[in-house]
Amino acid sequence: MDERKLRILLVDDEPSIIKIVRKQLELAGYDVLIAVNGPEALSQAQSAGPDLIILDRMLPQLNGTEVCQKLKASPELARIPILMLSANARHEDQLASLQHGADAYLTKPFALQELLERIKALLERSVGRRDQG
């Protein structure tokens, strides 16, 4: 039985978000990897194989929607659930993110407990599918 911690890739370019979210995820028992732009997110996803990705929608170099599309187009990365984060609460942006492969969407500012509950639900679904397959 694999006893490794579940690994989450946190992709955000705001140091304050990284600091707060990383601490909470680590306290919740997750192994946390960090990327601060789109290309770095793709590279980390490819090399580290995270169990879940928290992806900011507005990133330098390659935005979160583009990163999401590229991840979902990759056969080896498409299974990874993506929780999109954004300061933009417009319905059109939420819908576009979901249409491009995001599994969930959460607007900033957010309650840390809600973030943790959404992560837990996405991981339960994802790990359950892998255990069955």
pLDDT at 1: 39
**Which of left, alpha, beta for 127 (phi over 0: left; psi -120 to 50: alpha)?**
alpha
In a domain, 110, yes or no: yes
pTM of the model: 0.90
In a domain, 41, yes or no: yes
For 9-49, how does the pLDDT look when each residue is reduced to its tens digit (9 = 90+)? 999 999 999 999 999 999 999 999 999 999 999 999 999 99
- Decide if pLDDT at 127 tops 90: no
Domain count, the chain: 1
Residue with the bigger pLDDT between 130 and 95: it is 95
pLDDT at 94: 83
Domain CATH for 72: 3.40.50.2300
Mean pLDDT of the chain: 90
Question: What residues make up the domain containing 16?
Answer: 7-124
In a domain, 57, yes or no: yes
In a domain, 130, yes or no: no
**76-102 mean pLDDT:** 88
- Predicted confidence band of residue 102 (pLDDT cuts 50, 70, 90): very high
Hey, what's the torsion of the CAs at 13, 108, 67, 70, to 10 degrees?
Answer: 160
DSSP 43-99: HHHHHH--SEEEEESS-SSS-HHHHHHHHHHSTTTTTS-EEEEES---HHHHHHHHH
| Residue 31 tokens, joined | 């192994």
In a domain, 85, yes or no: yes
In a domain, 118, yes or no: yes
In a domain, 1, yes or no: no
pLDDT at 40: 97
In a domain, 52, yes or no: yes
